[in-house]
Amino acid sequence: MLSPGAVPLLAVEGLQAWYGESHVLHGVTFDVIAGEVVTLLGRNGAGKTTTLKSIMGIVGQRTGSVRYEGKELIGLTSDRIARLGIALCPEERGIFASLDVEENLLLPPKVRAGGLELDRIFKLFPNLQERLSSQGTKLSGGEQQMLAIGRILRTGARLLLLDEPTEGLAPVIIEQIGKTIGTLKQQGFTILLVEQNFRFASTVADRYYVMENGRIIDRFANAELEANLDKLHDYLGV
């Protein structure tokens, strides 16, 4: 599936992870090429979110290998990982109630050159500019999601981990987020997306990995989606 000679930006191999006693990931292997949008599909509890958290270094214990630009991330703390150029937009969005919108937006420090300027972010999400002095959690769900994505675009991170960015949002906002992901891809961002909604994923993704019980059980490219629909319905139970 990889074009020959392509070096993956992110290479995950035999990744295992635990929350306390419970063993959640049982050897996850996949990779993401620079400039791609790759989607992890799977039912609730398949281990998608844990995979993102393991890459970011915020689960209790992990083994195996996660390499970013060839550098091993297992053993690094999450602040070091972030400084290499990886940024997470968490499922619960993680907007800070004690910060206003502007402070939320400016919170993540710049880790590298080449992040988006503020006016570019406001062009993507005009709502944010109008509400800069509102308390972060006073925004609507959709605006909070835009804020959660917007704040990691400034930092210069090149790999974005987006955890269910469309969850619980109105169709018109989902469409706006889809367009945004397309724009980001054009600008050279690499995106690892976790989604339950594969209809949405199919509008943005280059490739898919399907997860079940903490393992990757299938993979295909976007062009193969139609041919795999039956299997996919089966996997996702929809």
Partner 1 sequence: MFELFGISSQALFGQLLIGLINGSFYALLSLGLAVIFGMLNIINFSHGAQYMLGAFTAYFLLQYAGLGYWWAIFLAPIVVGITGIIIERLFLQWLYKLDHLYGLLLTFGLALIFEGTFRNFFGSSGLPYSVPPALQGGRNLGFMFLPNYRGWVVVFSLAVCLTTWFVIERTKLGSYLRAATENPTLVRAFGINVPRMITLTYGFGVALAALAGVMAAPIYNVSPQMGANLIIVVFAVVVIGGMGSIMGAIVTGFGLGLIEGLTKVFFPEASNTVIFIIMAIVLLIRPAGLFGRSA
* Residue 88 binding partner 1, by CB under 8 A: yes
CB of 106 to partner 1, least distance (A): 7
Neighbour count for residue 55 (Cβ, 10 Å): 27
**Token pair recorded at residue 58:** 């915020």
Q: How many residues does the chain have?
A: 238
* Residue 79 binding partner 1, by CB under 8 A: yes
* Residue 76 binding partner 1, by CB under 8 A: no
Distance of CA 72 to the CA centre of its chain: 19
* Residue 118 binding partner 1, by CB under 8 A: no
* Residue 139 binding partner 1, by CB under 8 A: no
Nearer to partner 1, 155 or 190 (CB): 155
CB of 48 to partner 1, least distance (A): 17
Nearer to partner 1, 157 or 216 (CB): 157
Rounded CA-CA distance 159/32 in Å is: 9
* Residue 107 binding partner 1, by CB under 8 A: yes
In the shown chain, the binding pattern of residues 42 to 71 toward partner 1, with x for contact by CB under 8 A and - for none, equals: --------------xxx-------------
Rounded CA-CA distance 51/212 in Å is: 12
**Token pair recorded at residue 235:** 């996997």
How many Cα neighbours within 13 Å face the side chain of 117? 2
**Which of 55, 17, 65 shows the shortest CA–CA distance to 160?**
55
Interface contacts to partner 1, rule CB under 8 A: 56-58, 77-79, 81-83, 87-88, 90, 94, 96-99, 103, 106-109, 111, 152, 155
